[in-house]
Amino acid sequence: MKKREFIKKAGLVTSSILAIPFIGQNEELYLTKLANQKKNANESNVSMNLVIGGDHAGFPLKGPLIEILKSWGYIVRDVGCFSVEPVDFPDIALLLINEILTGNAERGIMVCGTGIGASIACNRIRSIRAALCHDAYSAHQCVEHDNANVLCMGAQILGIKLAEEILHNFLNAKFSEGEQFRRRVKKLDEFDLVKPTKN
């Protein structure tokens, strides 16, 4: 079956699926898996608490994302900003991170212009693993392999349909039980204990 025909049958978003890098994978098997994930998510009860934040550049996308999340049954805390008036994204990132570190939220979504500043800010804090995702594949892979707990997106880069699919994949992914992935993430958590050495 051709990719476009399969996508149409599965009811998937064409713009994002066509951008997925099928490296070392069977394309049709992946599409089948994604379609099943969407079906299972629609049939399951959502119990994850989320926090979302963004700067003024991310504000236009943040509102629609909140509505999508609520329609899926998530409890969402919005930590700002609340208008297009300029703010500093590190300030919003700290508010978002605090919700995760205190246990009020399991995962966070941070939106700025490109998502780059948001991801840098979030990753400055130990135990936060923020992933910048602009494609559907990375959105679930970052959780499965790297145990990402914050998703960063760029409002100036993504349309709402692709952003919705990225969000869906991120929230429905689970950290792999594979020993190699657990070992690597544990090493990430130890980075803050490393002190620079002189040669």
178: buried, middle or exposed (CB in 10 Å: 19+, 13-18, 0-12)?
Answer: exposed
Of these residues, 112, 122, 133, 152, which one is catalytic?
Answer: 112
Cα-to-chain-centroid distance, residue 175: 13
Cβ-count burial 34-73 (b if 16+ within 10 Å, e if not): bbeebeeeeeeeeeebbbbbbbbbbbebbeebbebbeebe
Q: What is the Cα Rg of the chain in Å?
A: 17
**From its phi and psi, is residue 170 left (phi > 0), alpha (psi between -120 and 50) or beta?**
alpha
Catalytic-residue membership of 152: no
Q: Which is nearest to 133 in space by CA: 105, 106, 103, 164? A: 164
Q: How far apart are CA 17 and CA 6, in angstroms?
A: 11
Structure tokens at 180: 């190699």
Structure tokens at 104: 């009020």
Element (H, E) at 110: strand 107-112
Catalytic machinery residues: 112
